[in-house]
A and B are shown apart, each in its own frame.
Chain A
Amino acid sequence: MADNAAALLLLADGRLPAGGYAHSGGLEATIRAGRVHDADSLEKFLTGRAVTAGLVAGAFAAAACHASTKGDRVLLQELDPELDARIPSPALRAVSRSLGRQLLRAATAIRPHPRFNELDRTAHQPIVLGVAAAAFDLAPRDAALAVLHEAVAGPAVAAVKLLSLDPFSAHAALARLTPLLDQLASEAAKHADTAPADLPSAGAPLLDIAAEHHATTDMRLFAS
């Protein structure tokens, strides 16, 4: 483990004031569609999310961390349209940029660093997280791990508000997922210096559809 792991814990902590608590990562719409209804189906949902959207976001965070550490502003800029191209749902793209803007606000406030000037204020969340990780001298794998953690911890905590579910079972699912997250973070980190166009592009069409349905639903608890 890196000597500066405390900074990683800080960035990955759900208590970081960056607005993540208002989102369920597509879980609310998926529950409404009947595809998640108990602890087992929740765990399958989380696994699916980790290996698709989670891996893609993790790889982009790793690449952004790498580009920022190198000071390669052009490379950093190229990541943005490439991530756009991997998120077919306009609603999800908007969520990713909104969360990115909030994270940029929080990260800039808690750790002012010139690296943040290289970012557009509407940058995607994984890219902002990669740059924030670089600002804390963290490695690309750290950035990927933080993003992967958020990708499953957010929906798992939301599940307790959306289903009649024992909070311990939601966290037990997260506990069983930790080896997978580690493995995915390592895979994502291998792409830290991959050309942006060749970064992973695993898709989760049901998450895209769920996001579009959710955006037009009236009575919702979570913003996404």
Chain B
Amino acid sequence: MPENQEPRTRSLRLGVAGPVGTGKSSVIATLCRNLAGELNIGVITNDIYTDEDARFLRSAGVLPAERIRAVETGACPHTAIRDDVTMNLMAVEDLEQDFAPLDIVLVESGGDNLTATFSPALVDAQIFVLDVAGGGDVARKGGPGIARADLLVINKIDLAEYVDVDVEQMVKDATAAREGAPVLALSRKQQDTVQQLCAWVRWMHSQHVNGSHTPIDPGPMAPHFHADESGEGYFHSHDDDGAAEPAHEHK
């Protein structure tokens, strides 16, 4: 089959991004464990070093090992999901062909910083994962992933009391940064939150299948601050719908 031809069965390609150690692999393992009985799932991992994440997922036994493939990104995890998605795109298409029909391919980004988001050329929708241990103020800082991913997960909420984070406040801050877009407080040890995560993925899959989901690009311009002469200033983003704010140029 020539390249550039869409595989016979096109899955929902769902990206999972977020900083190092926030629990991206764990979110994927949780999804596979809970949804593999009803949806056909494949997984692509992107590691900074070798194929550690793929091995973790294979050893978790949540999917047949051959449905979990690693893409090595040469120390550039952000490049592989944004500027040059060729490797990942081909890995996704191969998986879709080899295990057709797949309902969902989960693409796990290598852990990166707050600005790394998936290109819509690679995924149809994306989850951005933060955790309470990274600090309660991270959600408030915004950034393309936090503000505009299809779903923001605040993970490891069972640890909140040990790191002095007010989960309710963190969710509130995140919801404000996202202008009301969905935020999910998650702990794999709290089954009700796991069920909420699964329900969102089922919903996104149905939106994809019935054609009502339009992929959005969270990046690249992060919300940012502009100082003014009074020593005050304003914080804003460059969303298309952010018409309330004055347009300006970045030099």
A residues at B contact (CB < 8 Å): 15, 17-19, 21-24, 101-102, 104-106, 108-109, 117, 121, 158, 161, 217-223
Contacts and interface: CB of A to CB of B under 8 A. Distances in A.
Contacts of B89: 105
B72 interface: yes
B3 A21 contact: no
A104 B80 CA distance: 17
Interface in B59-75: 72-75
Contacts, number: 59
B85 A17 contact: yes
Contact of A121 (B2, B80, B85, B86): B2
Given A19-B84, A102-B86, A220-B49, A108 B74 contact: no
B11 to A, nearest CB: 19
Interface residues of B, number: 21
Given A101-B3, A221-B75, A223-B74, A21 B48 contact: no
B83 A105 contact: no
Contact of A219 (B50, B74, B84, B90): B50
A108 B86 CA distance: 12
B87 interface: yes
B50 A21 contact: no
A101 B87 CA distance: 9
14 contacts: A18-B84, A18-B86, A19-B84, A21-B76, A21-B79, A22-B73, A22-B76, A101-B3, A101-B90, A105-B3, A105-B4, A218-B50, A220-B50, A223-B74
Interface string B1-23: 11110000000000000000000
Closest 4 CB pairs of A and B: A22-B74, A17-B84, A223-B72, A19-B87
Contacts of B72: 22, 220, 222-223
A27 to B, nearest CB: 11
A52 B50 CA distance: 28
Counting chain A CB atoms within 10 Å of each CB, the highest count among B74, B84, B90 belongs to B74
A24 B74 contact: yes
A102 B76 contact: no
Contact of A102 (B1, B48, B79, B90): B90
Interface of B: 1-4, 48-50, 72-76, 79-80, 83-87, 89-90
B3 A121 contact: yes
A94 to B, nearest CB: 13
A106 B74 contact: no
Given A21-B74, A106-B86, 9 more contacts: A17-B85, A17-B86, A21-B84, A102-B87, A117-B2, A121-B3, A220-B50, A222-B75, A223-B72
Contacts of B83: 15, 17
Contacts of A22: 72-74, 76, 80, 87
B68 to A, nearest CB: 17
A39 B180 CA distance: 53
Contacts of B87: 19, 22, 102
Nearest to A117: B2
Contacts of B76: 21-22
Contacts of A105: 3-4, 86, 89-90
B80 A108 contact: no
A217 B52 CA distance: 12
A19 B49 contact: no
A58 B97 CA distance: 34
Nearest to A103: B86
Contacts of B86: 17-19, 102, 105-106
Counting chain B CB atoms within 10 Å of each CB, the highest count among A18, A19, A105, A217 belongs to A19
Nearest to A107: B3
